[in-house]
Structure 1
Amino acid sequence: MRAFTTRIGTLAAAAVLALTSAPAAQAGKAGPPAPAAYFEFTDLTRHTFVIQLTDPTRIEEARSLLASGEDKHVMGRIIKRPAPYNARWSYHLNPDTIHFFTYAIEVCDATIPYVEDHLDEVGGAFLPGSHWCPWTSRLVREIPAP
């Protein structure tokens, strides 16, 4: 039964990855890029992590979540290198893959520091496809551009 559950989780993760990759493919078809917005989120460890949003729809959604206090979480695909706006960590999220969710599968859940401590394993059995969806993530605030 455990192997069956693991396989279902892996297939579900692949489906989520396919869905989050579609907006990135469409991004090149638009006009000039919109100005980026930066948001900070935290998780149950109380560490903070900064994301960059470039899609106007996602920016508006993030602002709406902050204003309403709606219980949605952050998900996206990890890039294994630091970003100037998130220099504390050795990784960041690809802005083209960031979405907000209410429920997600367990295979993509991990805390901010756990990802840092196991970054060399990301993309394999740990966070397949480099897809990360911290279940306890919560947007805290919008921050000024660095």
Structure 2
Amino acid sequence: MAAILSTLALTIAMAASAAPAAAAPAIEYVATINVGSGSNVEYFRIHLVQATDITAAFANMNKQSNRHPNGRIVRTGPELNIGYSWHIDPNDVNFVDVSIAACDRRPSEVERGALASGRYCPWSARVVQMTPLL
């Protein structure tokens, strides 16, 4: 009996000292977003890294929410916003109910530098696709 208890104690001690299981890898997404309608529709992409932004983007895509993205414009290249010379900072974007008019434009107007703000917040934005980045 003592040998069984000793083996059990050793097994418990070894399990307690084992390295913790690796955390599940974070999943990031690229949200493809349309702005405008009809012949005036344009598309752009946002790299989403925060769980709250990903959840909000899915809610927008599934028409459960009309919250629109509001993010800081970065003009150092497209990152994942292919076709443009800018992207939205993935660490400075939120989906919001209301934004100021100064940041509500089409992606092509952001490209031309037509915004009076360093943020982009297209009110008519609708997420049309969520693509996971692994």
TM-score surpassing 0.5? yes
Are the aligned partners of 2:70 and 2:99 in contact in 1 as well (CA < 8 Å)?
no
The one-letter code sitting in structure 2 at the alignment partner of 1:43 is V
Residues 1:35 and 2:17 are matched in the alignment: no
Backbone CA RMSD of aligned residues = 2.4
Runs of 4+ in 1 over 3 A off after TM superposition: none
Shift, 1:108, TM fit = 1.8
Q: How does 1:52-71 map to 2 (within 5 A)?
A: 52-71=47-66
Q: Give CA-to-partner distance per residue, 1:36-93, whole Å, 9 cap, x none.
A: 2111101113111010111122212222332244212111000002234222111000
Q: How does 1:40-51 map to 2 (within 5 A)?
A: 40-44=32-36, 45-51=40-46
| Identity across matched positions, percent | 26
**What SS does the aligned partner of 1:88 have?**
coil
Cα distance in 2, alignment partners of residues 32 and 106 from structure 1? 40
**What SS does the aligned partner of 1:77 have?**
strand
Give TM-score, length-normalised by structure 2: 0.70
Aligned match of 2:73: 78
In structure 1, list runs of 5 or more residues that go unmatched: 1-30
Total equivalences in the alignment? 109
Larger strand fraction of residues: 2
**Higher Rg of the two aligned structures:** 2
Cα distance in 1, alignment partners of residues 64 and 129 from structure 2? 11
**What SS does the aligned partner of 1:87 have?**
coil
Aligned match of 1:138: 126
Cα distance in 2, alignment partners of residues 55 and 135 from structure 1? 21
Give TM-score, length-normalised by structure 1: 0.64
